[in-house]
Chain A
């Protein structure tokens, strides 16, 4: 059973600070890694994805991947109250074809 683990939170972050979210996965064959954001009562939307070890930046978001340690993280710089949401980590491996395996999500609260 492939597993994707996230701390459920809530992760409380002061406005302007960096929010750091972690995700670990069990399948070493995983090749693509995704972060989705889900506002309360809404459906998930893709923030970014990463394939290669290292960092990938997109605006205030940075995804970090370490395949040897089997974790992927998301940093949110200059956190805003509008970043308050649940962040879902998802992984995909080629053998699974089109399937994504999602973690349970981390709830983030940014306090003004």
Chain B
């Protein structure tokens, strides 16, 4: 069974704080993704990575950065959190045509 874990299920941060969201997978998949999900907007791709130390911008990268130092770990960084970054954040890996999602982190920025 593919397992994708995320460091926190719920997180509350203040405006301006630096926020780290971590994602770990145990299936040796090369491709990893960060999405945010907002009501009515579906999932929107923030960043993805197809290999260690490689990253590509998704559709909404502004205000975010990522890090992939090891194959199994993909981190999303909010350099200075803002209230419009309040959302559900989902990490995913990909094996052929299937994306496997983590349980999500619900982030509230006050």
A and B bind: yes
Residues of A participating in the B interface, judged by any CB pair closer than 8 Å: 4, 6, 8, 32, 34, 42-46, 49, 88, 90, 97-105
Whether B104 lies near A104 (C-beta < 8 A) is no
Stretch at the interface among B13-21, B44-52, B61-69: B44-52
* Residue B101 at the chain A interface, CB threshold 8 Å: yes
B residues 52-96 touching A (CB-CB < 8 Å) = 56, 58-59, 90, 94
Q: Complex: how many Å from CA A105 to CA B99? A: 17
A-B pairs under 8 A by CB, number: 47
Partner of A98, one of B43, B94, B98: B94
Q: Complex: how many Å from CA A35 to CA B16? A: 37
Q: Which residues of A contact B98 (CB under 8 A)?
A: 46
Q: Which residues of A contact B44 (CB under 8 A)?
A: 102
* Residue B31 at the chain A interface, CB threshold 8 Å: yes
The smallest beta-carbon distance between A50 and chain B, in angstroms, is 10
Residues of B participating in the A interface, judged by any CB pair closer than 8 Å: 31, 33, 35, 40-45, 48, 50, 56, 58-59, 90, 94, 97-99, 101-104
Q: Which residues of A contact B56 (CB under 8 A)?
A: 97
Assuming the contacts A4-B42, A43-B102, A104-B41, asked whether A98 and B97 have C-beta atoms less than 8 A apart, the reply is no
Partner of A43, one of B31, B41, B90: B90
Whether B43 lies near A88 (C-beta < 8 A) is yes
Q: Complex: how many Å from CA A44 to CA B98? A: 11
Closest chain A residue to B39, Cβ basis: A104
Assuming the contacts A43-B90, A43-B101, A46-B98, asked whether A99 and B42 have C-beta atoms less than 8 A apart, the reply is no
